[in-house]
Structure 1
Amino acid sequence: MLLAEGNWSTGATFTLLGFSEYPHLQIPLFLVFLTIYTVTVVGNLGMIMTIRVSPQLHTPMYFFLSHLSLVDFCYSTTVTPKLLEILVVEDRTISFIGCVMQFFLACACAVAETFMLAVMAYDRFVAICDPLLYMVVMSPKLCTSLVAGPYIWGLVSSLTLTYFLLTLSFCGSNIINNFVCEHSVIVSVSCSDPYINQMLCFIIAIFNEVSSLVIILTTYIFIFVTVIKMSSAGGRQKAFSTCASHLTAITIFHGTILFLYCVPNSQNSWLIVKVGSLFYTVVIPMLNPLIYSLRNKDVKESVRKLMNRSIRFCQSFLFAKEI
């Protein structure tokens, strides 16, 4: 089926309602989300830079963490600027192509993050269950392949869903009761039969969620058994502490997604869906770098060294300027 001609000839546009039902909260929400986005950008780009310039962080675990930060940065940047825009301007419209592109990028990032967390679980499995061969097993070639997998599958999943969205036709009022162009809301305002798109989205979403959770749960079962068998209490504590940040990130990310799957299909559920979508598209990308930096001694030490180095550089620059 080819792209519906009407989408191009009429220049179909969508209206993102966002949180317009609360007009008195538009400016406060703008300031809150601007702060969150600023922290997200600084946190994730700072994490990437810290890992890149700190030799002690040049290990597989931090290599994967840097890519998680990259995905979070891209994910938030795909969604948040448009959210900020519709909070302060009266024109809340977005073009058909703009809406589809936002979905494509957000979907690719979401799927990539889902499996990046699974890859990081495998990394912790090897590190704890086979520590002597960790650097041999987690070779640069394997690490590159493990990172490439989530990106490639994210693009494949997103391209598939986007292609079938492009087969839909739109007529009448294209009002989206959300702040982001999600698959379900785009399909809901279409004039076409939504069955194929809905089933395809359901199958891909269930496959991604179940397969990633199976990988994570399987690896952590082996990790738990290995840790329990350790004779040293200090060894057990160290092993659990290395997994704590990752487990926290997994719980928040997958917990939010599973919660959204369980939202009842009712008129009152739209607000819950919007808040849930807001959490995993805007808030979680901010939380991940905070979780890994606040709970990780190596990252905190590297950040402290970088800050001291920057302070010394600024002091020497100012001193040279005075001379």
Structure 2
Amino acid sequence: MPAFDATLARWFHDHHGIVSSAHLRYLGVSDDEREWLVSTQVLEVLFEGVYRVTSTPLGFLGRCAAVCAADASLALSCYTTGHLLGLRQCSSSALHATTDRVTKPVGRGVVIHRTRFLPSEHIVVRSDGIRHTTSERTYFDLARHVTDLSLASILEQMLRIGLCTYASLVDVTQSLATSGRPGSGRALRVLASRPDGASPADSHDEVRLLRALRSAGMASAVSHPPVRLLNGRVVHPDMGDPRVGFYVEVDHHTWHDPSAAIDYDTDRDRQIRLAGGLVERVTDTQLRADLPKVVSDLLALYRARCLSFGAQTG
């Protein structure tokens, strides 16, 4: 009977319950001892040469670690890296991984993408055995799978939470984008459509609304424009056209305590009006129920605001 010692237990603790044959040998477990652990159901075979200690439930991170243990050339990518990074619009039941080598299939539920270019600087190696593509590479790889709107939302979130910079995204995308390469056009198009110097949007609903307003004729709208109040404080509404002081806020019912949010929002809206601005509020539920109507209403109010300033819309 092989000893399940503290070193082996620590490995499983630090690697989501996953180990490869090579690492078992490194940890002092012989092949015969490994087979005994499998036969007594201490270990479960997940893929060829990859095992899970059965006392640890197999969750998302364990599945990720198992795929990486199955093939050292693989780096998790696309939706899977997006989920690891906490990005929205990145749900997928399958695990996605990319390699620059010819490899055999890993197993069910794993989608392998092959590329001719996957340098080490595009891969993050974690201490828990998980390897995944960088944020910039993930942005480019996702472009082949998602719509322009979803990719724009992912881009805004990456910038908002500091995963990368706009400049680093442009650098990596331009280095990867070639004629005929899946996702190249979308990745470049979404980057180019972002207004210069705009602050990142907070939510997918904000991205949807801003893109819809700009497409409908509010071309000068930007995300989080600065508004200086009479007391000197600078606030940033969700979006708006600062030329005419027209701003839009998207209220998310699940984000705040209702009473505290109402008090804060009411006071801030009043301060913006005192500074000469106009704030219109919409809710996330309204956007999801009838986005065209919300856009039509806001556009009518915006045009009226522009007329009062003697300014052209756009």
What is the TM-score of this pair, normalised by structure 1?
A: 0.21
| Structure with greater Cα Rg | 2
Higher strand share: 2
Higher helix share: 1
* Higher relative contact order (Cα pairs below 8 Å, separated by 6+ residues): 1
